[in-house]
Chains A and B, each alone.
Chain A
Amino acid sequence: MANILVIADHDGASLKPATLNAVTAASKIGGDIHILVAGKGAQGPAEAASKVAGVAKVLLADDAAYEHQLPEDVAPLVVSTVKGGGYGHVLAGATSVGKNLLPRVAALLDVAAISDITAVQSADTFERPIYAGNAIATVQSSDAVKVVTVRTTAFETAAAEGGSASVEQVAGAGAAGLSSFVSAELTKSERPELTAARVVVSGGRGMQSGENFPLLEALADKLGAAVGASRAAVDAGFVPNDYQVGQTGKIVAPELYIAVGISGAIQHLAGMKDSKVIVAINKDEEAPIFQVADYGLVADLFKAVPELTAELEKAR
């Protein structure tokens, strides 16, 4: 059986959890799992990758050209690694990095790419949601190399400890000279990362303004939760766009999702309907969100949210 190449998602210092979800998906395919870490001074992520349970080998490509994961530079490296190593699958988490890179890799290999899989049926057959999650397609690939991005919330994270893979240096062609990184503006938050949080508290248009989001933040802090938002709240400028949960934002599947002042448009549901327990707080009892909520509270959020925060405080 051919080996599987997983592309590490990392920030130069640490390995992102999405990589661990991709490793779990890879383990369901069968074959030796190798992780490719491309970066500059990326020893840290490479060592972390070598400890992941189930990983046979880590390939580290250390070059200034790979510092910002520009696909123009990294895609040729992945292609030469795949061709040189005879890999049958290339996997990555369906993060903004994975989605940017893997289709470019697939086209260079002249194979179809399979986006955002939610299940592995066999080495060549996968399930993936289409139409904003309103249908599940089962697709079979006849290509020699399967290039696949993995919906992180559909697969458990692989154990970050327990493995002892060797780290091998690999070299690529370096900078392609087509693109360069200029700057990044990251949203700072002390709270857990949205896609990995156990609890998510999300606000929608009903929040009325960005100044009211601290109400949700107070509740989130009580629950150790991440704060999300609907597209309406993002478009209205209440919160930055990386808070957005939905078809065009982030896909989350926490144990508890609390939707506050969110009507529940299909584009939003596509991003959260796999949550284990959904709570909706909305004053409109006809809101579609109540059709998927396990517990619905028809109430004014400006009264209910502080009450809920206080009640949780009391319960401690």
Chain B
Amino acid sequence: MKILCAVKRVVDYNVKIRVKTDQSGVETSNVKFSMNPFDEIAVEEAVRLKEAGAATEIVVVSIGPAQAQETLRTALAMGADRAILVQTDGATEPLAVAKVLKALVEKEAPGMVILGKQAIDDDCNQTGQMLAALLGWAQGTFASKVVAGDGKVAVTREIDGGLEVVSLTLPAVVTADLRLNEPRYASLPNIMKAKKKPLETVTPDALGVDVTPRLKTLKVAEPPKREAGIKVPDVAVLVDKLKNEARVI
């Protein structure tokens, strides 16, 4: 079975972002970028499935600017076999990304597509579900365990009240939650080897996909600031403040 993995280049999760003064977006120049943490987990899971003999080839895809090549090289260093960059300028919405991925799925015919459950920049949590819908495939979202069997995959999902197990007919789309696995670090020899692995670049036009945004961002603003309060010396004062000042107990 071939596995397709989608990865996104995002502002590193440790960066304290700044909103642009003209409220057109978030400052992204001179900011550290890295692979979306949920996508690292998706790649790791694909590599583990290959190591376990359940997968034969791993193709990683990223949709974004030329710099997304670095993100793809990282995935190749983790163990993916080859990469495809669908080069775009500007941000692409989940629906457009899902359509691009659908076009690639039709070309590559994978048995499973693994994505992260959400990107930490737009926080949408949509792309995997949309891709499954467009392909008419089953979806196993927020996965914390994936067991590939014969023609089926059992996915343990994180739900609000606990966990749920669903059985999906393959081919299927799976989105990774944080607890699915712990991604490995790419070793230096693997990083060197990854430089020689194939990386193909295409455009959305070549795939016949229109990536024009459907939503218009009118503005991006800072959230209301929360001021630091006071420090209390002991528990008795804390209880008194909560009771008589904040009136919450």
Tell me if B122 is interfacial: C-beta within 8 Å of chain A.
yes
- Tell me if A267 counts as interface (CB < 8 A to partner B): yes
For residue A233, give the distance in angstroms from its CB to the closest CB of chain B: 13
Interchain CB contact (< 8 A) of B121 among A70, A113, A131, A184: A131
Task: Please tell me the size bucket of the interface on A.
Answer: 35 or more
B138 neighbours in A (Cβ, 8 Å):
72, 178-179
> Please, which residues of chain B bring their CB within 8 A of the CB of A136?
220-223
CB within 8 Å of A: which B200-249 residues: 213-223, 226, 228-232, 234-236, 238-239, 241-243, 246, 248-249
The answer to whether A103 and B126 have CB atoms under 8 Å apart is yes
Which listed residue, B120, B157, B228, touches A292 by the CB 8 Å rule?
B228
CA distance A155 to B26 in the complex (A): 26
Question: Is the Cβ of A70 less than 8 Å from the Cβ of B166?
Answer: yes
B177 to chain A, nearest CB (A): 7
Interface SS of B by simple majority:
mixed
A315 to B242, CA, bound (A): 12
How many chain B residues touch A (CB < 8 A): the figure is 81
Please determine whether B218 and A140 come into contact, CB atoms closer than 8 angstroms.
Answer: yes
Q: Is the CB of B219 within 8 A of A138?
A: yes
- Measured in the bound complex, the distance between the Cα atoms of B239 and A298 in whole Å is 15
Residues of B within 8 A of A99 (CB): 125, 141
Interface stretch of the complex, out of A23-31, A51-59, A303-311: A303-311
**A104-B132, A115-B123, A248-B117 known; 5 other A-B pairs, CB under 8 Å?**
A97-B159, A104-B133, A179-B169, A181-B167, A295-B241
B residues sitting closer than 8 Å to A (CB atoms) are 11, 13, 16-17, 19, 26, 93-95, 98, 117-118, 120-134, 136-142, 144, 154, 157-169, 172, 177-179, 213-223, 226, 228-232, 234-236, 238-239, 241-243, 246, 248-249
Please name 28 pairs of A and B residues whose Cβ atoms are closer than 8 Å in the assembled complex, sorted by A. A96-B158, A97-B159, A101-B129, A103-B128, A103-B129, A110-B95, A114-B215, A115-B126, A128-B123, A131-B17, A134-B223, A138-B218, A140-B218, A178-B137, A179-B168, A180-B166, A180-B167, A181-B164, A185-B163, A185-B164, A242-B160, A248-B177, A278-B229, A279-B238, A285-B231, A293-B229, A296-B231, A311-B235
The 10 closest A-B pairs by CB, nearest first: A294-B229, A103-B129, A107-B133, A107-B130, A103-B126, A112-B214, A178-B138, A182-B165, A186-B162, A179-B138
